[in-house]
Amino acid sequence: MRISPSNSNPAAHQAALADHPGYRRDIDGLRALAVLSVLAFHAFPEWLRGGFVGVDIFFIISGFLISSIILAGIEQGSFSFATFYARRIKRIFPALLVVLLACYAFGWFALFPDEFKQLGKHIVAGAGFVSNIVLWNEVGYFDTASETKPLLHLWSLGIEEQFYILWPVLLVLVGRRISVLKIISGLLLLSFLLNVGGIHKFPSATFYSPASRAWELWLGAMLASMSLQGRDMLGSLRRRAGRGTDSVVSLIGFGMILLALTLLTKKSAFPGWWALLPTCGAVLILAAGPQAWFNRVVLSSRLAVWIGLISYPLYLWHWPLLSYAQIIESGTPAPAIRAAALLLAFVLAWLTYRLLEKPLRFGLKWNGKVGALSATMLLLAAAGYYTEWREGLPLRASIIESAAHTKALITVEDRANAAACKQRYGFETLWEYCQLAKIDQAPTVILIGDSHAYHLLAGLSKYYGEQGENLLMLGTNIPFVGFATGDKYQEATPRMLEIALKTESVHTVVISTIAKLNDDAMVDGLRLTLKRFREAGKTVILAFDIPRIDFDPRSCIKRAGIPSSQTRTSCEMPRATYESANTVHFANLKQVLSEFPGLQTFDPVPYLCSQSTCRAMQDGKLLYRDNNHLTYDGDLMIGAHFGAEQQAKRAQVTAK
């Protein structure tokens, strides 16, 4: 099946085709630059703030090389889907399999059930090359920190493999009727417009979506197509500028990459327009050719080529090592640990390349290699699926010290089924939290607020259920009149308050929020909210916030005997730390409460703190899931005290 080249110089085209694709040492050197940038950024981000652009350089290289292979095969009439995908499997699967298996094996001993459950999910995503889609869907307020996702880096592999799967199919189907350059140009432009159009409004989607990232691979594909058709991208410039043009162009490309590495940060609107710096820089380096000075002397050096040859397994190994170090240390590891992780990554990458990749790709003559690799990948994906389905295999707790924490680490959100509640109120796109105890009955008590109301849900549901009440929980952001922050809350917060105010069956409103009364606007918001509820005849209970602890509660637990310099001997912090951070809030809260005599309040602090310390663990169970949210056990404990206080107040009223 042939695609006719849109080329006016058949002789030049055939000459270029005869020499292409061929091995270029400088491309391996460019791979080295890309992977070293990523490694430096992940291990020492303060040294190279924009090192994440190394991934974009990889996209350019991949688009260039893969398109060169596909287009050359089609032009010569030798392209075969079976051969192409078999080569991709032999190239991609060996190192990926061993890294996935190693992550699973280490996670078996080191991870708690919720963490191991997520790892299982990510193994399935990695094996299916959809990590970018899965991670995109995980983005949210309670999303786990990226540093503690050992397979986070597979998002880029997902985008590349999705490109590899669809691109040759598209070329074969359409390429006979439309010139390849026109196809590439149109798709590149469309993808780039999605990128720049979505980076501010949909940053996560723009970062992870193949639709808004594929332009980088098509940019490399455009260079490949021009090269195969005998079109010299730098031809006119060479004719005007003469000798040395290639070297100058290559240095300009390197300069653009250096600018991206030094100017960009994690806060930059990336990819967006900024992605043009590293991608166009990489294109210029490739277009300059292997004889350009920088390409010949620097990128083709023995060290650069060696790093480039192991760049794929090096990329795969480095992040799990750094991520597991972060997990074990319950925070950023010491520089020496991060440096050791990188050194180990180089060793493992070299071993993977020499003992696994090369024999399977070039040495071992066995027709069943592709089938065996594919079957192994399916088995590993099945193991990941089973791990996620079985909630992280909690029976492994027998090998984890302090197994009593297993239940405590299950979050409230995992237990709450909000679908029926959202359907009843018709607010599927508005409410971040929605739970109604008895879905077929009208609510009598409503809990409103943000995530700091939601982590009281289990305890309050238990108490009010025992009292014959029907608790409704609606949560968005700050539950104060006039404080609708963020796009999705601008409509949700006022409507949440309206339901609480106007639902006749609701007699009691419980308010809880992380918001601090540190400015006049916030104070006025609480004052007006309390006034509105009082005028509506509602009984209001203002639940004060819990202390924010100054450490990761998981650092109180030792993981399967794995040594950590950060395991805490005490799971407490000084109470003075909490109080000194909230002096303004306490003063303003006291003032507002004085204006509403008889207002009911609930303070969880006495149940989490002694006179001198605040604790994150009690009776062998964690009370906090992170530094400012309760675990399920913490929720139940606070709910029990809430109920006891309410019972005591009722008894006092009855006695009178």
Q: What is the pLDDT of residue 414?
A: 46
Q: What is the pLDDT of residue 83?
A: 93
Question: How many C-beta neighbours within 10 Å does residue 217 have?
Answer: 30
Output the six-digit token pair for 343: 């050194």
Q: What is the pLDDT of residue 370?
A: 93
What's the pLDDT tens digit per position in 556-586? 877 766 767 666 778 899 999 999 999 999 9
- Give the closest residue to 471 by CA, choosing from 484, 457, 482: 457
Separation of alpha carbons 260 and 237, rounded Å: 25
- Give the closest residue to 281 by CA, choosing from 311, 251, 245, 244: 251
- 305 touches 25 (CB < 8 A): yes
Q: Within 289-401, where are the H helices? A: 293, 302-309, 311-329, 335-352, 358, 369-389
Separation of alpha carbons 63 and 465, rounded Å: 59
Could you tell me whether strands 621-622 and 617-618 are parallel, antiparallel, or unpaired per DSSP bridges? Answer: antiparallel
Residue 560 host element (H or E): none
- Give the closest residue to 320 by CA, choosing from 153, 159, 160, 157: 153
- Global pTM value: 0.82
Q: What is the pLDDT of residue 7?
A: 43
Domains in the chain with CATH codes: 10-399 (no CATH), 412-646 (3.40.50.1110)
Question: What is the distance of C-alpha 656 from the center of its chain?
Answer: 57
Question: What is the distance of C-alpha 486 from the center of its chain?
Answer: 21
- Burial class of residue 158 in the structure, from the number of CB atoms within 10 Å of its CB (0-12 exposed, 13-18 middle, 19+ buried): buried
Return all residues near 42 (Cβ < 8 A) that are at least 6 apart: 51, 318, 319, 322
Q: What are phi and psi of 601, to 5 degrees?
A: -135, 160
Q: Which residue has the tokens 């990761």?
A: 552
Three-state DSSP class for 614?
strand
Q: What is the pLDDT of residue 142?
A: 54
- Give the closest residue to 631 by CA, choosing from 640, 639, 643, 622: 622
- 437 touches 462 (CB < 8 A): no
Below-50 pLDDT ranges, the chain: 1-20, 398, 401-404, 406, 410, 412-416
Separation of alpha carbons 175 and 653, rounded Å: 83
Q: What is the pLDDT of residue 324?
A: 95
